């Protein structure tokens, strides 16, 4: 569970950064290079540059020649990642070189985690430094084309897919060293008490369906033709190394984790690592020198769920005095049934005509499974509705073998017929008397396809009569009214 807070100004700034960057036009220091010739990619392939054709490693700077994509030499990749709580700040620096004898235009392709957001880009070509500015795609491309025509060194970064970015770099002079620095943030995947940090190093080959799009032609430098189904195929299919070959460069990666709460255990299933534990909530790991070939994604997992709940407060202040914070509450790994607050569960079943057949049978299976697995101190009620609503019992009953047997018999008798007067079911469920002395938390579970016309009235009724109950809605059927069901759950 995570709570965050920040000032209004800081919030707007951070939200802008956290959105996926649709395009960066690197133009802050567009240095005019006097004497720069027009870009010409029809150049002879210098010795040492070869055609690659299998899984491309992280970061590839390419030119196009005779319909084939050629890679520029990548000397080194450096990754420095810092995790605070569950947010990772990742800085990637890559070093390329231009071995050609004339100016070139190249395309840089690199994979990113799907749940990441690029918020900074910096490029150094020789003595020139170029920084990124966010622009709309069309506007940025116009600026880029104008800069190239004027002989300036420019670069254009575009998001082709949530996890593939391409950047066009123009007027790279012979012998230039190119340093590309990219910075992004990502929230880590969480599953059953374990966080996972991944740094992608491979863009796998994609299957491109559809027929060739003859109206637009080939827009990018990839191996695939643009098709009607995948109009940007040529921009998302970079060349890849064959499995029996290795990349000509290596990678260094350092990951610092400040979990905020005690780290119970950690592992790196993908690589051999050096590790340094700094207190109960911090660890620093690096890829060992013998395992620095970037032919697989880096994966690091750490467990934070322990024998007791933990919390952490992470803060940040700006020079202007504003700031923001993040409060994390980590539940313990597991709970005994005796530790769980007794519940009162009210099951509300749609038995109207639209639920007849397969939907009602699946509802009955789910209902029986729920009733048979209640906790010892739970109370429960079953309400079915079509034209009108009816209760299994006058009031919620305790979880006893006799009551469970009666409830299952009632559930088995349900069939689908009649209209869907869902409001009657809502009113019946939320008007069930609660016994304050029992101190049970009430959960109301609706099972329906949700196909009614008075969604607003139903949602308003739930909001008005909730009285501390928690509502869960489950869609049943080949298609459901998601607007209503999600609205009920949010009420």
Mean pLDDT of 324-335: 82
More confident residue, 60 or 203: 60
Q: Which residue spans of the chain are classified as CATH 3.40.50.410?
A: 337-490
Start-to-end C-alpha separation, the chain: 20
Mean pLDDT of 183-192: 87
pLDDT recorded at residue 190: 87
pLDDT recorded at residue 440: 85
pLDDT recorded at residue 21: 28
Give residues with Cβ within 8 angstroms of 26, minimum separation 6: 121, 123, 130, 131, 132, 133, 154, 155, 156, 157, 167
Reply yes or no on whether the pLDDT at 333 is more than 50: yes
Query: Could you report the per-residue pLDDT of 18-57, keeping only the tens digit for each?
Result: 332 222 323 322 322 222 333 332 333 333 333 233 334 4
Query: Could you report the per-residue pLDDT of 70-93, keeping only the tens digit for each?
Result: 778 888 889 999 999 889 999 999
CA angle 217, 220, 221 (to 5 degrees): 115
Domain 2-205+240-301 in CATH 2.60.40? The answer is: yes
| β-pair type (250-258, 74-84) | parallel
pLDDT recorded at residue 10: 39
8 Å CB contact between 462 and 425: no
More confident residue, 418 or 307: 418
pLDDT recorded at residue 453: 81
> From the centroid of its chain, how far is CA 349?
34
pLDDT recorded at residue 266: 95
Q: Among residues of the chain, what percentage have pLDDT more than 90?
A: 28
Q: Which residue spans of the chain are classified as CATH 2.60.40?
A: 2-205+240-301
Token pair listed for 47: 């010795």
Reply yes or no on whether the pLDDT at 430 is more than 80: yes
What's the rounded Cα separation, in Å, for the pair 172 and 40? 10
Q: Among all chains, which residue has been given the structure tokens 């009108």?
A: 388
Domain 337-490 in CATH 3.40.50.410? The answer is: yes
């Amino acid at each position: 569970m995570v709570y965050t807070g920040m000032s209004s100004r800081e919030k707007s700034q951070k939200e802008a950064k956290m959105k996926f960057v649709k395009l960066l036009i690197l133009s802050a220091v567009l240095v005019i290079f006097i004497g720069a010739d027009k870009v010409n990619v029809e150049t002879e392939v210098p010795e040492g540059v070869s055609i690659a054709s299998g899984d491309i490693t992280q970061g590839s700077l390419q030119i196009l020649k005779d319909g084939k994509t050629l890679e520029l030499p990548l000397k080194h990749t450096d990754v420095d990642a810092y995790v605070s709580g569950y947010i990772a700040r990742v800085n990637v620096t890559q070093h390329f070189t231009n071995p050609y004898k004339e100016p070139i235009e190249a395309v840089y392709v690199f994979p990113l985690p799907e749940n990441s957001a690029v918020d900074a880009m910096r490029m150094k070509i020789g003595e020139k430094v170029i920084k990124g500015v966010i622009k709309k795609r069309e506007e940025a491309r116009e600026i880029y084309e104008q800069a190239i025509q004027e002989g300036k060194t420019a670069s254009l970064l575009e998001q082709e897919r949530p996890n593939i970015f391409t950047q066009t770099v123009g007027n790279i002079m012979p012998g230039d060293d190119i340093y590309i620095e990219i910075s992004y943030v990502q929230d880590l995947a969480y599953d059953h008490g374990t966080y996972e940090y991944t740094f992608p190093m491979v863009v796998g080959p994609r299957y491109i369906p559809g027929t060739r799009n003859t109206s637009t032609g080939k827009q990018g430098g990839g191996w695939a033709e643009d098709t009607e189904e995948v109009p940007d195929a040529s921009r998302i299919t970079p060349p890849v190394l064959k499995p029996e070959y290795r990349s000509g460069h290596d990678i260094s990666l350092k990951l610092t984790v400040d979990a905020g709460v005690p780290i119970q255990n950690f592992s790196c299933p993908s690589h051999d690592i050096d590790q340094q534990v700094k207190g109960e909530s911090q660890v620093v790991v690096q890829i060992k020198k013998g395992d620095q070939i970037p032919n697989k994604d880096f994966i690091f997992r750490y467990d934070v769920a322990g024998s007791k709940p933990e919390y952490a407060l992470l803060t940040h202040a700006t020079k202007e005095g504003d700031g923001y914070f993040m409060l994390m509450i980590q539940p313990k790994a597991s709970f005994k049934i005796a530790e769980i607050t007794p519940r009162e569960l009210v099951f509300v079943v749609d038995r109207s005509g639209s639920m007849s057949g397969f939907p009602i049978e699946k509802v009955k299976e789910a209902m029986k499974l729920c009733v048979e697995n209640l906790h010892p101190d739970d109370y429960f009620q079953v309400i079915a509705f079509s034209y009108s609503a009816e209760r299994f019992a006058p009031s919620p009953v305790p979880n006893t073998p006799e009551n469970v047997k009666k409830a299952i018999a009632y559930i088995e008798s349900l069939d689908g017929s009649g209209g869907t007067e869902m409001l009657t079911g809502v009113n019946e469920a939320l008007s069930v008397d609660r016994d304050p002395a029992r101190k049970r938390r009430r959960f109301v579970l609706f099972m329906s396809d949700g196909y009614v016309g008075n969604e607003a009235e139903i949602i308003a009724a739930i909001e008005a009569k909730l009285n501390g109950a928690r509502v869960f809605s489950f869609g049943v059927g080949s298609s459901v009214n998601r607007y209503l069901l999600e609205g009920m759950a949010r009420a």
